[in-house]
Structure 1
């Protein structure tokens, strides 16, 4: 049985496992995996067809705990404890819910102290007692309803019939109905970094990508403190470019989380014939054979491919981390923005980018096609992007037809250990030196930016 402490408006956890409001989905899953001996049953709930239409939920069914993540930011916004018979809970060191102690109304009053009168929900027959960042739900029989106006303390219950908490909610703010996902706490960085945004650098005269502007935050280091936690963050802005040497990337972004050497190139068959001939007519024992390699930055949702011979950047790969994709939960979501230039005479005022009620990213994704620029971000859908291509083509007759994505390359990801991909194939469309990998639900899974001379 899990033994957790409640910290209103902040967290649920113990010394080994702590779920912080605002933490990233990947971090929560890491804590669950690290405590697999205690947390045995976990379900991931999401919408396969419309992943942005509902929250991303982690349900720990055998422990009665549900973690609810915002579908856009993929950060924890709500913690629900819905089965109090399967968990031990305390507040400020005092237990109020164990196998011996029932979380009754009287016990909640003794441990948490006074608060404003609660609210009765006649539809669910629940009485909700609210504290700042914390709420308790009590099932109340309907015949008590006329007497609830002065709070539950004014109700008279027979001995043994005192209501018991049925659900606890931990959230940010003083009003459950208007709760918002809080900013990520530097404590949850755990020595890593948090991506604020990635701006793809585009040549506006021909819509060719040439680099990235990356803004990320990490926990500020306090050299005086004996621990690394300072509860403050520091933000960096870095520019990296295609054809950069590996030293530039290392000095800009730091050491990669992992270095992966390519064992095979499944796109080799699409290269020019001379390249194929050179690729297959080499001496495998020759020292002139070089292997390309990736720098994997999982916190940034970024892969960087280097040419093995010259150690220069060949590709950037940005990951959106949608559930239902083969690479889900390996990377954090890369919050990128790709500004593509429209013809000067267009005047489109309707938004073409998906928006969300969460305002923490509203400045980045609630954009319209204005000032001749069309913005693509992780929440754009492929039919919206195709609409941009079709409008641009119809307004620019001189545009080459081979720049317009038509038939995709079908990609079926598998591993060397397991050849089965339960998520199905994805579809790759190319525009200039940008490749969009599209999931069956019409969402972008990855964006690959490559040197124009690279295929």
Structure 2
């Protein structure tokens, strides 16, 4: 059973509930909760790159392009206006297209007014194309009755006569990003410094062994999920592990899924013991459980006057980050299969690698993409 679509077009801002600048995580959560409206969804990406443009085909009418690094909604394309289910498109409460009426060149002119000459109609934040292939010019651009074949909505440019925004570029800071994580700078054996939109000058510091659960609640608000740690399989590799496991302090997680962060907190002292930053790599076992955290790991400055110490970032490959953390050579890695015990989850490459360094654990895919960083 399909539901009719009734969408409003907002040049430079979005279409319907799809807002430019929204995160991939937020958009997929919306699609999952509205399967009656959007029953056919397909996701495409480059499996060999952690910073890859991602396209979501919401069939048959909507294509969503997300920026490669920060996974933000960059461009919205509308097409196949008469395919089932029926689509009604509005602009400022006026119907542009419906199952009973085509959207023609003359209709666009009447609704949006004059624009620069050219094969297609270009306005700030929206473009109307009259060919199925946007790279081809229409046969007769003077025909007022030409049907619109495709609409592209993107952030507005100062000059509406320039080329469309680079699909490999990033989205400009906008209201859709407010209160979301802009940057997470980690320092080994110390913690992480967080900056949020829109005021990135204000910081929140979370320090290992210092910051408490109450501090997190005050600075970050309540987590989306809290649960007690039950998986102690890694304790077998601990050098301080006792034979009877006595003295192991109970702990619990604060899961800030919407920031791509986990905090492991000691149950007795309620102090942060570990910080986990997630990259939301498509195709990995943890994809879409967490929003992408734009993490960086900062090294030591060369001297007291060095105000730009070296850093590695979430889109760097694991070998680059390994050399940064351990110039003398990477440690042996362990295989980890997160799909064990989850019969409903099948992935082409479910195995990730764990690499342990002094104060840091990297989890990486077989394609050398870092899935998560754990500070302890």
Structure 1 residue 343, shift from structure 2 partner: 8.1
Aligned 8 A contact 1:240 1:252 in 2: no
Aligned residue in 2 for 1:239: 205
* Alignment of structure 1 residues 16-415 onto 2, 5 Å: 18-52=17-51, 54-62=52-60, 64-86=61-83, 87-119=87-119, 128-139=120-131, 152=141, 155=142, 162-172=145-155, 173=157, 174=160, 175-178=162-165, 181-186=170-175, 193-201=179-187, 208-217=188-197, 236-244=202-210, 245-272=212-239, 275-279=241-245, 291-341=250-300, 373-388=309-324, 392-393=327-328, 404-414=329-339
Structure 1 stretches of 5 or more lacking a match?
120-127, 202-207, 219-232, 283-287, 345-369, 394-403, 451-455
Aligned residue in 2 for 1:4: 7
> Residue 11 and residue 146 in structure 1: after superposition, are their counterparts in 2 closer, same or farther (change >3 A)?
closer
Structure 2: distance between partners of 1:84 and 1:176: 24
Aligned 8 A contact 1:137 1:168 in 2: yes
Structure 2: distance between partners of 1:389 and 1:319: 18
Structure 1 residue 384, shift from structure 2 partner: 1.9
Aligned 8 A contact 1:139 1:163 in 2: no
Structure 1 residue 329, shift from structure 2 partner: 1.3
Structure 1: distance between partners of 2:301 and 2:93: 60
> Residue 187 and residue 372 in structure 1: after superposition, are their counterparts in 2 closer, same or farther (change >3 A)?
closer
Structure 1 residue 2, shift from structure 2 partner: 1.0
Structure 2 stretches of 5 or more lacking a match?
none
Structure 1: distance between partners of 2:108 and 2:138: 23
Aligned 8 A contact 1:22 1:181 in 2: no
TM-score (norm 2): 0.85
Which structure shows the bigger proportion of residues in helix conformation?
1
Structure 1 residue 315, shift from structure 2 partner: 0.5
Aligned 8 A contact 1:212 1:240 in 2: yes
TM-score (norm 1): 0.71
Aligned 8 A contact 1:20 1:188 in 2: no
Structure 1: distance between partners of 2:364 and 2:352: 6
For residue 243 of structure 2, give the secondary structure of its aligned residue in structure 1.
helix
RMSD over aligned Cα, in angstroms? 2.9
Aligned 8 A contact 1:5 1:91 in 2: yes
> Residue 275 and residue 170 in structure 1: after superposition, are their counterparts in 2 closer, same or farther (change >3 A)?
same
Structure 2: distance between partners of 1:408 and 1:342: 28
Aligned residue in 1 for 2:359: 433
Number of aligned residue pairs? 357
